[in-house]
Amino acid sequence: ESTQIGTIFLDASLSIRKFTPAIKEHFSFLNSDVGRPISHFTGNIGKSNLVERCKRVLNTGKHLEKTVVSKSGNHYLRRLSPYVDSNQKVSGVVITFIDIELLQKSKEKLQASEKRYRSFYEEDPMMHISVDPKNSQIIQCNKMAVKQLEYDSKEELIGRPIFDLYSEDSQLEAIKSNKHFQTEGKLVNLEQKLLTKKGQSLPVILNAIAEKDEYDEILTIRYTYADISALKIAEEKLQEQKADLERVNRDLEQFVSICSHDLQEPLSTIKFGSDVLGKIYSQKLDDKGKNYVNYIEDASSRLSNQIKALLEHSRIGRNGKRKMVDTKELVEVVKFDLGKSIKDTGARVHCGELPKVMGYEVELRLLFQNLISNAIKYTPEDRTPEVRISAYREADYWVFSIVDNGVGISKEDQLNIFTIFNRVEKDSKKDGTGVGLAHVEKIVHLHEGTMWVDSQIGVGSSFYFKLKAV
């Protein structure tokens, strides 16, 4: 009476001998129903062929099992067992209904999980190939593997050794990676080359994992390949562009070398000649002739300075290593270097809190020196130069600003302000080569930053640049 399993005991004529209370979940029995044939009753579940199955158990003495579903949707295992008496004869049948709902739900979850895995494996845009760990033969693959390797069907791949998919040059590397897998149990991001059916090389990135059973035994090895053909093509193009750029840079360096050395000699001759004309033959020259000599001297001096500035520009970032630079200390050093200019003009240079950055110390010093000296130089004579230097954090960068109260730069001139040899005040008597701001921009780019300017005529300029934060 205490059992929770619904049970019916039938005699040899398939009449009810007795039943457990739990059978009410399946049959609406009363105590007075004992002795009646089972065929007289309609149960909630498992009615079809029940009598015929009971007869088969009586005749064969073998168990019969079947999964049935109740009207409420629960799953039960209906088991028909022979009832053996003390004389070892089959004298009846025992019907039991065992609740397997939890087992059924677990089974359905497992089936759903396996279906999702098969769907992922089959539909994934990566190539998946499963290999027998004992003989390295392919036992399964997905559609993408068939397509990328240019085979007609899976059957052409299944059964082949995985090493057949590698070229002769790559097979040794594949064997080495297999040994590594045996040691580590996985392969991560290995670059290899596969062979298509047509013999074409296919560059891939390989990852591999072991699929194990409940006893931690390896069932299969799943190789996942990512086609990197497009990446390789782009890489080759970048290499070509890099080679072109290096060639252009070498040509530029050669050109700068010619400018700085070969052109200096004839330029020195021109300067020497103008000096001789100006000193020895000055008494024989009229005012117009003297002016021409002065023009030659001024032009040759400017050209000499520009050649030197061009050489300096080409050398920016060529030597030296990055290190931690305290920009606050650097600005103080620049202020000391510009001491005479600051004193002569009465300039006031205000410096807020500045960060430490990873960079090229010499180049950063040149950057601040050019910007501060320009701010002082291009301030009207009737105005005391004011220069304010500050910095603030913006994501992964420090944004520096150098603000002055100088003459300002027009919108039109701002477009070319960082172009080499460009000078805003072309008629200005201020000394300059037009290279300083080009130096500054190149130094900022050397530090993977950006630079811009905001200015208003007659009010002043604000130069901004970003440097990567540590």
- Condensed to tens digits (0 to 9), the pLDDT of residues 97-108 reads 888 888 888 887
pLDDT reported for residue 251 = 74
Q: How far is CA 409 from CA 112, 219, 417, 458, in A?
A: 70, 74, 9, 8
How far, rounded to the nearest angstrom, does the alpha carbon of residue 374 sit from its chain's CA centroid? 42
How far, rounded to the nearest angstrom, does the alpha carbon of residue 83 sit from its chain's CA centroid? 70
The ranges of the chain annotated as CATH 1.10.287 are 233-315
Query: DSSP class of residue 197?
Result: T
Q: Please tell me whether residue 319 adopts helix, strand or coil conformation.
A: coil
Two tokens at 234? 């782009």
The pLDDT tens digits of the residues spanning 236-290 come to 999 999 888 888 877 777 776 766 666 677 777 887 888 888 788 777 888 888 8
Two tokens at 462? 């604000």
How far, rounded to the nearest angstrom, does the alpha carbon of residue 407 sit from its chain's CA centroid? 47
Domain 124-227 fold: Beta-Lactamase (3.30.450)
Give the separation between CA 138 and CA 153, rounded to whole angstroms: 13
Cβ–Cβ < 8 Å for 443, 366: yes
Q: What architecture is the 6-104 domain classified under in CATH?
A: 2-Layer Sandwich (3.30)
Tell the residue number behind the tokens 């760990």, with chain if given: 133
Two tokens at 165? 């998919």
Q: Which of 275, 280, 270 is nearest to 303 (CA)?
A: 270
Phi-psi region of 94 (alpha: psi -120 to 50; beta: other; left: phi over 0): beta
Lowest mean pLDDT of 41-45, 98-102, 344-348, 389-393, name the range. 41-45
**What class, spelled out in words, does domain 323-468 have in CATH?**
alpha beta
Query: DSSP class of residue 260?
Result: I
**What class, spelled out in words, does domain 233-315 have in CATH?**
mainly alpha
Give the separation between CA 5 and CA 27, rounded to whole angstroms: 13
The ranges of the chain annotated as CATH 3.30.450.20 are 6-104, 124-227
Cβ–Cβ < 8 Å for 439, 454: no
Q: Band of the pLDDT at 427, cuts 50, 70, 90?
A: very low
Give the separation between CA 461 and CA 377, rounded to whole angstroms: 13
Give the separation between CA 212 and CA 119, rounded to whole angstroms: 20
The ranges of the chain annotated as CATH 3.30.565.10 are 323-468
pLDDT reported for residue 155 = 92
pLDDT reported for residue 319 = 64
Residue 13, Cβ neighbours under 10 Å: how many? Answer: 9
Q: Band of the pLDDT at 426, cuts 50, 70, 90?
A: very low
Give the separation between CA 5 and CA 96, rounded to whole angstroms: 7
Cβ–Cβ < 8 Å for 442, 390: no
